[in-house]
Amino acid sequence: MSPPPAHKTRYLTTSERTLILIMGDICLLLLSVSIALATWDHYTQRPFYIYLHLNIFYLVPIWLIIAMILGTYSLHGMKDLSRFLYYPLQANLFGGIIYALIYFFAPKGSLPRVVFLFFGVASSLLLIWWRYLYFSIFSHHRWRQNVLVISKEKSLSDIQKLIQNHQHYYQFFGFIPIDSFPQELNFSSTEVDKIVYLVEEASSSQVIEILLKSREKGIIVTSIPEFYEELTGRTPLSEMSATCMSLFYFKELPWGSIYALLKRSFDITFSLMGLSLFFLFFPFLFLMIKIDSRGPVFYSQLRVGKNGRVFRLWKLRTMKDGLKSNHFWTEEKDPRITRFGRWLRKTRFDELPQLWNVLKGDLAVVGVRPLSVEQCQAFAEQIPYHTLRHLAKPGLTSWAVINFRHVNDLEGVKTRLEYDLYYIKNRSFWLDLYIIFRTVWIIATLKGL
């Protein structure tokens, strides 16, 4: 086992750190609104009374929602200082666009534009200062969790790399090979904060007893797959085994649950509203598709749904008709895609007919992306546990799509599957809501999916 790092007295969990960051942001945002209002009242030579301008404080929740959609409070968003400092500016930029839309429909004189300008300047300066201070404090080794790894040596390099990529939260304490496991672990909770281990390697009574004693000392004990999920938002295929899978919990919620009812109600409402929008734009879309290239307006394909049920999925055609189609990969600049089809894909208008599938119950708004029958058959033979994705209903968008967009090889399919398995295990109404907001954001910024 490698020598331990310098002694440290305390650590904060990642959720505690995030809470501190959010609370600091809220306090400074409220201060920024107050500064903006005081500056505006001084500028207009009026006495300053906050209670007269309470409607302006809606800027704070708008900013926070934008920040969450941008990924400001994710582990990925907080590990890089330059990106971390850039987020407040980005949130203010898009907040300004939203403010302008609200201002356009608000009664005359109710929302002074210059207030948002003052708010943008004050919040940018204060939040950049706060985030630099936050990063400087919590990047110190005393605030990181020391991690001890119990595994086979072949898995060590991947875990070390994972810890290195999140070095502002964790630092590598040492490694114990499972084949030469000691009778006792000679360290305290002031030296080691977390032990990560492979489930199948911790099956002996000796290892279990030592892990239980470590837990009694106040040390966090977690499996490598759970540790991997926490840091990446993915369920690692490389660390899955038959033993691990037997302990892997996939939530299969009954139809009568609140989550299932909320989800289906939202799907029906969303699909009806979306189909109304589709019928409104359909004459224009029909005309442009016909002008751009020959062929039918609609394209359909058999896809695999929940529990392996096959259904027919409908889309607007975005490729030239008559060309041989590769069911597996679509290149980023695929020559088969028409000019108008490229715009349809960017805006996701090509998927509007899928709202009929949502209304029928073949799809949900949020789920896992539906694959063709040929893809599912091929991937099931090449990728372990690929059929587990059929535990959830496929969706228009997914956790995998917003985190890992373009797939054109087998490794990409594996990565998307890891995101899908994470979603199936952790799905909830709030996660679905975040995925929807994030999807809207990506479409609005024309980044495609």
| Final residue belonging to a domain, choices 112, 138, 164 | 138
pLDDT, position 328? 61
**Does 35 share its domain with 75?**
yes
Residue 195's beta-bridge partner residues? 148, 221
Three-state secondary structure call for residue 301: strand
**Does 163 share its domain with 127?**
no
Average pLDDT taken over every residue of the chain: 81
**Does 281 share its domain with 414?**
yes
**Does 186 share its domain with 306?**
no
Tokens of 78: 């907080």
Taking the CB of residue 159, how many other CB atoms lie within 10 A of it? 20
| Final residue belonging to a domain, choices 138, 173, 204 | 138
**Does 125 share its domain with 150?**
no
Question: Taking residues 196-225, what's their average pLDDT?
Answer: 75
The reply to whether 5 falls in a domain is no
CB 77 within 8 A of CB 70: yes
Quote the radius of gyration of the chain (alpha carbons, Å): 26
Domain that holds residue 183: 144-247
Which residue's structure tokens are 């499996």? 223
The reply to whether 253 falls in a domain is no
pLDDT digits (tens, 9 = 90+) for 403-414: 887 777 888 889
CB 229 within 8 A of CB 422: yes
| Final residue belonging to a domain, choices 189, 218, 247 | 247
Check pLDDT > 70 for residue 339: yes
Domain count of the fold of the chain: 3
Question: Taking residues 365-381, what's their average pLDDT?
Answer: 91
Label residue 200 by pLDDT band (50, 70, 90): low
Taking the CB of residue 150, how many other CB atoms lie within 10 A of it? 23
- Say if residue 409 is exposed, middle or buried (CB neighbours under 10 Å; 0-12, 13-18, 19+): exposed
The reply to whether 268 falls in a domain is yes
Question: Taking residues 17-29, what's their average pLDDT?
Answer: 91
Q: Cα 85 to chain center, whole Å?
A: 20
Which residues, 6+ apart, have CB-to-CB distance to 269 below 8 Å? none
Nearest C-alpha neighbor of 425 from the set 237, 196, 232, 229: 229
Which residues, 6+ apart, have CB-to-CB distance to 213 below 8 Å? 185
**Does 131 share its domain with 152?**
no
CB 145 within 8 A of CB 171: yes
**Does 303 share its domain with 226?**
no
Label residue 85 by pLDDT band (50, 70, 90): confident
Whole-model pTM: value is 0.80
CB 317 within 8 A of CB 341: yes
Label residue 355 by pLDDT band (50, 70, 90): very high
The reply to whether 401 falls in a domain is yes
**Does 205 share its domain with 133?**
no
Query: How far apart are alpha carbons 247 and 257 in whole angstroms?
Result: 23
H or E stretch covering 94: helix 81-105
H or E stretch covering 345: helix 339-347
pLDDT, position 310? 94
**Does 320 share its domain with 428?**
yes
**Does 275 share its domain with 218?**
no
The reply to whether 1 falls in a domain is no
Query: How far apart are alpha carbons 239 and 223 in whole angstroms?
Result: 10
Check pLDDT > 90 for residue 86: no
pLDDT, position 188? 63
